[in-house]
Structure 1
């Protein structure tokens, strides 16, 4: 047996079960292994808080490094959470950067791999047979890993999938078209409307592999028979995905969380600015935010926009002469410092979000949030307790709620205190860990029962 394979087997209990290894798939059927030295400290047995150690294989296709992703960040913090609790954690990852620079060939490769990647299916099947984990927890399979891996895993391990978006049934991942929510593919249980409307990158050709993937895995019953538990980020998403075909009793809610308990910047030490953090794309609703600031005029507080994206140039032009600063793409630490020092965070989305990472950060730092009344957002931010809610795609409503909160003495500070209380109650790593372990237990139970899709809880 290869030395690398022995190292991984050692990580899964033959020698020292408290080492985290990163698993990198090689070309075709070859798999290479490389230990992640930095991660070894995460798995210190002295910090085990759970009597039973669970062996977990995490699977994730990282989005390209040029496009910072909340999904990538969620994967990393959850991996650290599991390892810090003493569980045996290995990871199998690919990155979309592998396709960059490949030109037309790279695009074609990604498209062909999307519905069913036979090399990854084979690799994961053999890997699970060798490692024998209790749980295989998948975060993202697009574009290089493919949902076919669930069939390869079979009953060898409990299969868990986090729903970071709506891609199982929506080829565009975000149910949106022409600047407003579109649930045609979800409601009709057909992905062909997405091809008709060129929902992915405004291209029918680019949309076709994703639409094919949706259709193939509906036909193969991948989502009803080959996954033991789904992790939805909100009740809204849970019910919406169940209405589109997922078995409701297998869909469990676990929101994103913020690790640790960061100190809250005292209100008197905060500067008078409002912050937006996210991609500068249509679905984030920034056009409506800037329209509200135009109406507010020069008496408006400074608006700091963190992030980058396709609308950067256009938004910069619209914001000319307004108290708006574009800070560009910042590091996680820099972005968090901006959120922690703000008096209000605004999220004017016009699409169904999952669970925005910026909201868990705002709650952790005691910064109130103003959010659009769309998708799960109003259930995350409670109007009058942890922030304010305004009508989506409505600059007048946004301005009214934001200005009222800004001008009412003491209100933002009280809302910030409410946001921190929400964090302490719902979004700490301790609460999240307990929920995740409960989901794993349910998935293992379903798997051991032979994948029975009948309601068990």
Structure 2
């Protein structure tokens, strides 16, 4: 695989890139780095999420500059944003930056969606190198915007050689993926697991500190504080089970979440940790009794924080979101427990089982770590992705859209 990928030129088009927080952002960085380690020449083109260079939240909607940098062997171009209007980013420099990246030589363009700005930019190009799209999630909540944007998606998804679903469970519920079912392939998202499997001294120190501060049981939530994460369900469940809830993340629902915690009488039992540096986050996982993952919509298609918890040997309590990869990542009875969507009592009952049933939490934690190592390592994901690229590059002429050049373009 290393010899086959040596010199392969890959351009990832993400929305944002770390230190911006978020599952898609972490995935793009992890995949880009892992592909580069296998010998590919990898670039990332994305939106500059912040005015400065150290912001972690992409809720910022002001003006940011364009800048280029290197993330190890990965070249990263963060294109400046002038404004954000109705979730569309105004980026006058994007066409030039995209053309410059293509002119440096690209064998595969890998787009990560939902990503309206990049979709429109690619639609405007008369030709493209072979295109692969990872479909991270359907547009669920913004129904009107999604319907208006669908024709632009269809144009690009028609041009793509391959479409990647993060799990086979997501495909039957996605009208867009079902329409192009013959081009869909599965690529489970992976992570670099070593920081969780063999924690650093700083992570172990953080674990001890979190244990001392929070006591036991410690329930953990990790992710952006947005509508589909189920924050309010978790707060209501906390009224029915003992322990402390640590909420790791930032987002537009933080203040409403704090108000809800006060109204429910659990304000003193919730720690709003905000964004945590890597070692602090590893320590929080290790100190936790379980990860609560009560997401409530198919906008949550996967859940990378589940894998982080699993690699840390921590059981996951997730939800049975129909046609989502969430309950596939952590399997009920093997690596955690799965409860109905939006059911605070069921979430609390599952948490109490971990406290009351002898050996259950330990058994699920061991199963969680084993599944993470077997299925979700970053190097395995990278090798699978390069195999998918090879398949896309070998697509015969009759599978290509009409009216496109034959010389390595689709």
Pair in the same fold by TM > 0.5: yes
SS at match of 2:251: coil
SS at match of 2:400: coil
Whole-angstrom distance in 1 between the partners of 2:379 and 2:240: 43
Shift of 1:449: 5.7
Choose the corresponding residue for 1:124, options 98, 113, 117: 98
SS at match of 1:81: helix
Gaps of 5+ in 2: 52-59, 65-81, 403-410
Find out whether 1:106 has 2:83 as its counterpart: yes
Aligned ranges 1:270-419 → 2 under 5 Å: 271=211, 272=216, 273-296=218-241, 300-320=242-262, 321-322=265-266, 323-352=269-298, 353-374=300-321, 375-419=324-368
Give the conservation status (yes or no) of the 8 Å contact 1:57–1:137: yes
Shift of 1:274: 1.5
* Superposition TM-score, scaled by structure 1 size: 0.69
Choose the corresponding residue for 2:32, options 79, 87, 110: 79
SS at match of 1:257: coil
Larger Rg: 1
Give the conservation status (yes or no) of the 8 Å contact 2:292–2:318: yes
Whole-angstrom distance in 1 between the partners of 2:85 and 2:371: 45
Report the CA distance shift for 1:89/1:310 in structure 2 as closer, same or farther (over 3 A): closer
2:71 maps to which residue?
A: none
Give the conservation status (yes or no) of the 8 Å contact 2:17–2:46: no
1:223 maps to which residue?
A: 157
Report the CA distance shift for 1:292/1:91 in structure 2 as closer, same or farther (over 3 A): closer
Number of equivalent positions: 357
Report the CA distance shift for 1:100/1:393 in structure 2 as closer, same or farther (over 3 A): closer
Whole-angstrom distance in 2 between the partners of 1:239 and 1:50: 36
SS at match of 1:62: coil
Give the conservation status (yes or no) of the 8 Å contact 2:228–2:297: yes
* Superposition TM-score, scaled by structure 2 size: 0.76
Give the conservation status (yes or no) of the 8 Å contact 2:30–2:378: no
Gaps of 5+ in 1: 1-47, 178-193, 196-206
Runs of 4+ in 1 over 6 A off after TM superposition: none
Give the conservation status (yes or no) of the 8 Å contact 2:119–2:156: no
Give the conservation status (yes or no) of the 8 Å contact 1:64–1:97: no
2:77 maps to which residue?
A: none
Q: Which has the higher contact order (CA 8 A, sep 6+)?
A: 2
SS at match of 2:380: helix
SS at match of 2:280: helix
Report the CA distance shift for 1:393/1:111 in structure 2 as closer, same or farther (over 3 A): closer
Find out whether 1:425 has 2:374 as its counterpart: yes
1:60 maps to which residue?
A: 14
Shift of 1:63: 7.1
CA-atom RMSD in angstroms: 3.3
Shift of 1:371: 0.3
Shift of 1:125: 5.0
